[in-house]
Structure 1
């Protein structure tokens, strides 16, 4: 059994919901459920939600059986030909018309559950605030704005940039994924609207942890221009297991960096607190009133004006390695914030990460040294210690 939009409009005219001048295109969002004996067709007309039950054998007693998903807000309209009968004869069959009272809900919830569930609610909120959503031809910028199914909602999203680099997977099991993040790729959106790719969005299909946010799977981060090992949690239990290791400092991180200048000491432990710079709140500095921060380093190779160094932070303050090395007057090469833009990229690489997997196995994951590092120190490239087998 079939029903066309034109037939639906004829039934609507029978119930005096439309007149002879109403065009077929006035029917919005038609949704049809078909069966051998009957049809349920929902539609929006004149900003009202209706449903029509259409078939050969239809009466009031059979409504629940013929329309199992009937809305609790569906109100039966009287028979326009004979109010003493529920069903209305129409072209050799019978129809019953219902008006469905709309249910209001927040715009961000409506979009995340109805329009495109693959986009997180938090990202929908950013799109709304940025002016990409219109309701009834008017731009709405409040995520809590209430809408229902009768509203005309127009979505015009910015074009997403395609990832400029692949995301190499170093290891994967049912609990975690370990990737080698390229320099220049954001770990996750920074809070504002981001149309560029991020690690979080690339791995979103792989994880159920924080899936309703713009940080799915993320339990730690690397700065945009830092490359190297990043572990992703696939579940909430795994995330808690990993976050506990980072908080208790049992996760061991080893970085490689090229510095602009050579540290005076070949090896040392930097124990200097770090706090936010009040004059530039997005940056940090060594501050006696800041949070404790410790970094151990050793020089692996050096020229007259650059050094290849190994860095092992025991704390995880934002920009810690960059701030500590800049404080020694040997900023990391290419650091546009704490040094000079004198390289093609920030010469900081998360080389190794030692963690305990949820299975109980202790592992060291390693991301190969980028070629831009070994080009500066080719004679020492093979002298860097390999991780021990775990």
Structure 2
């Protein structure tokens, strides 16, 4: 099958409808693209360990069913040895007859190698079950080779120690309540769970694609339409293993976009990823011939005003609060470096959020 058959950009004009109002202070509710099922509740209800007879079929699907988690999450637990079937470790691909006792350990044991650190964090929202933080560019999310300290995980552990609160651990202590991630040089909103029940709820919402996300990007070039939808599979770039690209056989990836302003060889875009592939927005925009300014890895070069990091900012989130299922919207204004780059090219929009904050609605 040719790539142009599996990677299609669908363009459409949708009139003057805005997804969000002018500033961040009082955003209007945005209709969620909800698939079947709820993104709020899960059978585990905060239990540390789930033990139930499993249905017939693959182990990973059975674990997802009894624990109320996504298949990908179930596969991680199986790989970590936190799933036992009739007292024995199993593989995700093993098959069950049905009725076997499945034991799922949802909370991970402490990891003494992860050290709490006092790193200031700016919050957009916080309640007893979760928080939404405004991540600065340059902050690595998870410890890794070359980044054993100074990460967001270290900062969250330090904050939890100081406040006496815990963090969700069902995805592993090294994730410290984190349910999604941003690249090191992407700024903006991230969700963190304080409890296992909240983490399960939030992970389920992300898995069901009911969390609405809006990113802002400044790109080189003109978009093919004022609004559009990019449907193109994303996988590892065969020419550069450090990059992702649109490739035949890649994973399904869908991104919608709106042009907020354009001129002087640049376009300011609002992007709404409907899937969560690694580097999805960067790969999709490169595929369209619209590299993000400042993104040297994907051909964006130095941006206006001398910007040397990618102009990509997670500006808005809408999800259901785990505590009561009510809608929650959060927003984050462009940081100073991105605002300066935008001003240098002479673009702007009344739809850009102002300040950092959130608003919770009433449960329906």
Counterpart position of 2:154: 201
Residue of structure 2 aligned with 1:259, choices 190, 206, 219:
219
Residue 273 of structure 2 corresponds to residue 313 of structure 1: yes
Q: Higher relative contact order by CA 8 Å / sep ≥ 6: 1 or 2?
A: 2
Whether the 8 Å contact between 1:161 and 1:195 is mirrored in structure 2 is no
C-alpha distance in 1, partners of 2:147/2:336?
Answer: 29
Residue of structure 2 aligned with 1:363, choices 304, 315, 328:
328
Q: CA deviation at 1:214?
A: 2.2
Q: Cα RMSD between the aligned structures?
A: 2.6
DSSP 3-state at the match of 1:383: coil
Whether the 8 Å contact between 1:178 and 1:232 is mirrored in structure 2 is yes
1:120-139 paired onto structure 2 within 5 Å: 120-121=111-112, 123=114
Judged with a 3 Å threshold, the aligned counterparts in structure 2 of structure 1 residues 120 and 258 are, in CA distance, closer, same or farther, namely: same
Residue of structure 1 aligned with 2:129, choices 168, 175, 199:
175
Residue of structure 1 aligned with 2:173, choices 201, 213, 230:
213
C-alpha distance in 2, partners of 1:303/1:375?
Answer: 16
Judged with a 3 Å threshold, the aligned counterparts in structure 2 of structure 1 residues 347 and 385 are, in CA distance, closer, same or farther, namely: closer
Counterpart position of 1:384: 351
DSSP 3-state at the match of 1:237: helix
C-alpha distance in 1, partners of 2:213/2:299?
Answer: 23
Whether the 8 Å contact between 2:134 and 2:189 is mirrored in structure 1 is yes
Whether the 8 Å contact between 2:142 and 2:151 is mirrored in structure 1 is yes
Counterpart position of 1:345: 309
1:79-98 paired onto structure 2 within 5 Å: none
C-alpha distance in 2, partners of 1:122/1:179?
Answer: 24
Q: CA deviation at 1:122?
A: 5.3
C-alpha distance in 2, partners of 1:246/1:236?
Answer: 15
Counterpart position of 2:283: 323
Q: CA deviation at 1:303?
A: 1.7
Q: CA deviation at 1:337?
A: 1.2
Q: CA deviation at 1:377?
A: 4.0
- The C-alpha deviation readout for 1:81-139, integer Å capped at 9, x for no partner, is xxxxxxxxxxxxxxxxxxxxxxxxxxxxxxxxxxxxx9824549xxxxxxxxxxxxxxx
Whether the 8 Å contact between 1:122 and 1:213 is mirrored in structure 2 is no
C-alpha distance in 1, partners of 2:121/2:222?
Answer: 33
Give the TM-score normalised by the residue count of structure 2.
0.59
Q: Which has the larger radius of gyration?
A: 1
Counterpart position of 2:339: 374
Q: CA deviation at 1:331?
A: 0.7
Counterpart position of 1:187: 141
Q: CA deviation at 1:207?
A: 3.2
- The C-alpha deviation readout for 1:164-223, integer Å capped at 9, x for no partner, is xx4201111110011000011011123x35234111111112533229632211110000
Q: CA deviation at 1:317?
A: 0.4
Whether the 8 Å contact between 1:276 and 1:285 is mirrored in structure 2 is yes
Q: CA deviation at 1:263?
A: 1.7
Q: CA deviation at 1:376?
A: 4.0
Structure 2 unaligned residues grouped into runs of 5+: 1-108
Whether the 8 Å contact between 2:262 and 2:347 is mirrored in structure 1 is no
DSSP 3-state at the match of 2:296: coil
C-alpha distance in 2, partners of 1:210/1:175?
Answer: 13
Structure 1 unaligned residues grouped into runs of 5+: 1-117, 125-159
C-alpha distance in 2, partners of 1:357/1:253?
Answer: 15
Give the TM-score normalised by the residue count of structure 1.
0.55
C-alpha distance in 2, partners of 1:376/1:208?
Answer: 36
Counterpart position of 1:43: none
